[in-house]
Structure 1
Amino acid sequence: MGAQRMQIGEVADRTGLSLRTIRHYEEVGLAPPSARSQGGFRLYTDDDVNRLLVIKRMKPLGFTLEEMRDLLTVLDDLQSGPAEGAGRAELLKRLALYRALVEERCDKMRTRLADAEQFSAELATELRQHGRS
C-alpha cells in the first residue's frame, strides 16, 4: 500500500506553517516534497509532514538552518542507517547533544516567560491600584 500523498495546502493545515514557509524550507533543502504530480504540484507524505514539524519546533528555539539540517540528517540516518557499531554511537551522541541544547533553550524560554508573567502581574497590580481592572 502506497503512502498517502497530500498537496501543500493540506500540509499547511496540518503543520500550521504558511505555504510560503513550506516552500522556503524546500528551497533551502530542508524539506523537499517526496514527489510532484503530473501537473507539477508538490506532493507530501506523513514523513514529510513530520520533518516540517521538527523544523517548526526548532525554529523558535533559535536553531540555525545548518543545525536544523544536521539534526534532520541525524534523524534520517538513525531511521535508515547503521543499526549498530561506531556509526550508530556517533549518531546517538549527536542526537543527545541536540537534546541537551533543546533543554537548555527551553529553560531560557521558561525563565523569560516567568519574567514576562511577573511583569504582566505587576502591571495588573498598577491598574488595580489606580482604579482600573
Structure 2
Amino acid sequence: MESEHMQIGEVAARTDLSLRTIRHYEETGLVIPSARSQGGFRLYTEADVARLMVIRRMKPLGFSLDRMRDLLDATDRLDAGSRLDPGAREKLLDRVRDYEQAAQDRIADLRVQLSRAEDFATTLRRRIQGADPAGR
C-alpha cells in the first residue's frame, strides 16, 4: 500500500506546483493528503494528484479558492455515485455546467487578450525593424 502513495516532492514535480502551493491548498482545505507516513510526511494518491491538477487548471482562469472548493465539492459528490437522488444529481451537474461555461467564457477573454498582446509585439517589432538601419 505504501507504494501507492507519493510524498509531496513527487507530487510537486508531477503537478508543476511548488511545495508551498500544495501546502497552501492543504491549509485552505482544497486538497488533504490521503495519508501520513510514520514519520509524519504527507502522502498523496493519484486521486489527490488529479484534484491538484483541477486546481492548477482553474487558477489561470481566475477562479477563486472558494469557487475551486465549490466545484471540487460538486464533483466529489457526483463521484460518490448512486447515493444521490436524480434531482440532487441534476443540480450538481448544473453546477459543473456553470463552471464549464465560466471556463469557456474566460478562455474567450484570454484569447482576445492574447491577440492584443501579439498585435502589440508585432507593432514593436515593426518599429524596431523600421528604426534599425541594418534591417535586423
Gaps of 5+ in 2: none
- TM-score by length of structure 2 reads 0.93
Residues paired across the two proteins, number = 133
* 2:18 paired with 1:21: no
Percent identity, aligned pairs only, is 53
Other structure's SS at 1:86 match: helix
Distance 2:10 2:41 in 1: 12
Structure 1 runs, 4 residues or longer, greater than 4 Å off? none
Distance 2:131 2:104 in 1: 41
Other structure's SS at 1:110 match: helix
Aligned to 2:69: 69
**Mean CA deviation greater in 109-118 or 123-132:** 123-132
Distance 2:131 2:54 in 1: 46
Conserved in 2, the CA contact under 8 Å of 1:3 and 1:45?
A: no
Report the CA distance between 1:83 and its aligned residue: 5.3
Gaps of 5+ in 1: none
C-alpha RMSD of the superposition: 1.5
Report the CA distance between 1:45 and its aligned residue: 0.3
Amino acid at match of 1:34: S
Distance 1:111 1:83 in 2: 40
Report the CA distance between 1:60 and its aligned residue: 1.0
Distance 2:90 2:76 in 1: 15
Distance 2:126 2:36 in 1: 57
